[in-house]
Amino acid sequence: MRQNSMVLFTAVLAIASKFSQPQLYHKLLQNANDAIRTAILEPIYHIGVVQAICILVCSCFVPSRLGLLRDELRHVVQIGNRRLTIRVG
- Which pLDDT tens digit goes with each residue over 8-55? 999 999 999 888 888 998 999 999 989 888 888 887 778 888 899 888
Q: Where are the domains of the chain?
A: 6-88
Q: Contacts from 30-35 at CB under 8 Å and sequence distance 24+?
A: 32/7, 32/56, 35/6, 35/7, 35/10, 35/11
Torsion of CA 1, 15, 29, 45, to 10 degrees: 40
pLDDT at 23: 92
- Which pLDDT tens digit goes with each residue over 72-81? 777 777 776 6
15: Cβ contacts below 8 Å, ≥ 6 apart: 55, 56, 59, 68, 72
19: Cβ contacts below 8 Å, ≥ 6 apart: 65, 68, 69
